[in-house]
């Protein structure tokens, strides 16, 4: 089975942008830039239709491939769905699950997220489970309650032996695509909550879980986020569509 690394992880989520030819060109442009230090993992998540073209463009490089979603079943009469086995066959390593845009616009529920986590693990993919609160929840002091509930419902049925294969991305919904990132301190507090809950579920195995921050990550703030103890990387949206900006994010600097 694919084993996760302990290295920081930066994922660029291209969402519903870039045709297959443009996505491949985008990947090649990214690879032409100075590479980040080798102590971290970098991945890109193109749309389903662009995965084969991007896979060909990055073949032989250290850049990893992620998918933006997967079906909760392995096969069957599910028109329009893409299974984990199909993604694994294309060379995908990571898969985003439960992104707030899917929850908000496509009706994805916590139950569906939990089923997709298990489907990803069955397919030897590494699930990146997205959790985060709406602005109203933060304003009313319920952010921790919302995130804790999403997290536990998503991962409580994961066997302890597979816990280290999980990645959790804290993405406050109000920060996604708005230019209003959470403060590094707030992100750090939520990371600590996620780590505590994971440890309660999985014990020592939770140490292998990487916790990312996502939500208006940019070259201007990535160093501040990565300076927070316990933040293991970032899920990058808009800025990942600019190869130079994403390359700078991937080359984040931590205090020495």
Out of 41, 101, 133, 171, the active site residue is 171
Out of 99, 101, 108, 197, the active site residue is 99
Report whether 194 contacts 131 (CB < 8 A). yes
- Separation between Cα atoms, residue 87 and residue 82, nearest integer Å: 7
Identify whether 171 is a catalytic site residue.
Answer: yes
**How many degrees, rounded to 5, is the angle at CA 241 between CA 235 and CA 246?**
60
Q: How far is CA 205 from CA 1, 8, 10, 149, in A?
A: 17, 17, 22, 20
Strands 64-67 and 41-45: parallel
Identify whether 99 is a catalytic site residue.
Answer: yes
Report whether 39 contacts 8 (CB < 8 A). yes
DSSP string computed for 77-90: S-TT---HHHHHHT
**CA nearest to 246, candidates 222, 230, 213:** 222
Catalytic residue numbers?
A: 99, 171
């Amino acid at each position: 089975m694919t084993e996760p690394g302990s290295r920081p992880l930066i994922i660029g989520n291209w969402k519903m942008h870039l045709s297959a030819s443009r996505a491949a060109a985008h990947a090649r442009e990214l690879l032409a830039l100075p590479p980040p230090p080798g102590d971290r993992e970098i991945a890109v998540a193109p749309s389903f239709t662009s995965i084969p073209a991007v896979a060909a463009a990055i073949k032989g490089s250290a850049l990893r491939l992620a998918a933006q979603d997967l079906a909760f079943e392995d096969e069957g009469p599910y028109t329009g769905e893409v299974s984990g086995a199909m993604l694994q066959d294309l060379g995908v390593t990571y898969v985003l699950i439960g992104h707030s845009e899917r929850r908000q616009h496509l009706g994805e529920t916590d139950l569906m997220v939990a089923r997709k986590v298990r489907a990803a693990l069955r397919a030897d993919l590494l699930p990146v489970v997205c959790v985060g609160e709406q602005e109203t929840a933060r304003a009313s002091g319920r952010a921790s309650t919302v995130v804790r509930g999403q997290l536990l419902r998503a991962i409580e049925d994961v066997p302890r032996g597979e816990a280290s294969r999980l990645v959790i991305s804290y993405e406050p919904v109000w920060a996604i695509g708005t230019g209003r990132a959470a403060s590094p301190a707030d992100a750090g507090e939520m990371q600590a909550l996620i780590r505590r809950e994971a440890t309660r579920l999985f014990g020592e195995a939770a140490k292998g879980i990487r916790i990312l921050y996502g939500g208006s990550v940019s070259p201007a703030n990535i160093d501040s986020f990565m300076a927070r103890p316990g933040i293991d990387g970032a899920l990058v949206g808009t800025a990942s569509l600019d190869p130079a900006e994403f390359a700078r994010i991937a080359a984040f600097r931590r205090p020495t």
